[in-house]
Amino acid sequence: MFNGEPDGEAKADAVASYLGQHSNFKSHGRCIKLKQLQEKNFGLKVASIRSSVDLQKKIWDVYCAVDVIFSATGIFKIFYNSKEEALIRAQQVVAFERPVQVLPAQQ
């Protein structure tokens, strides 16, 4: 993102430090808002997906497809690169049936 910029390495270090600091986000799953990144003035080249209805729809379609895959299969992680290569991590899903215990009626 900062390739070719004279202070690119320092900018990248500042971004990595901010994003990697637990006290900034408290959770791996917590979202990072566009406004937060813009206010930090890192020089990141970011834009809101709301500026493009077509892009927003495509992102939503991918999100929904991945959500279905994760909830309906044993797949828990997907790595995909720009060369159209994928590494998919899955675990075997085993369902166990527990016997139902019938409690005696209370009088």
29 pLDDT higher than 80? no
Q: What is the pLDDT of residue 107?
A: 66
Q: What is the pLDDT of residue 73?
A: 92
Alpha-carbon span 14 to 105, nearest angstrom: 66
Same domain for 5 and 42, yes or no, is yes
Please indicate, yes or no, if residue 25 is contained in any of the structural domains: yes
Domains identified in the chain, total number = 2
Domain that holds residue 11: 1-46
Same domain for 41 and 55, yes or no, is no
Q: What is the pLDDT of residue 40?
A: 86
CB atoms within 10 A of CB 79: 9
Q: What is the pLDDT of residue 46?
A: 84
pLDDT (tens digit, 9 = 90+) per residue, 51-83?
999 999 999 999 999 999 999 999 999 999 999
The domain boundary, picked from 46, 64, 83, lies at: 46
Please indicate, yes or no, if residue 97 is contained in any of the structural domains: no
4 pLDDT higher than 90? no
pLDDT (tens digit, 9 = 90+) per residue, 31-54?
888 888 888 888 888 888 989 999
The whole-model pTM stands at 0.59
Same domain for 41 and 3, yes or no, is yes
Eight-state DSSP code of residue 82: T
Same domain for 55 and 40, yes or no, is no
Residues in CB range of 56: below 8 A, 6 or more apart: 49, 50
Same domain for 34 and 8, yes or no, is yes
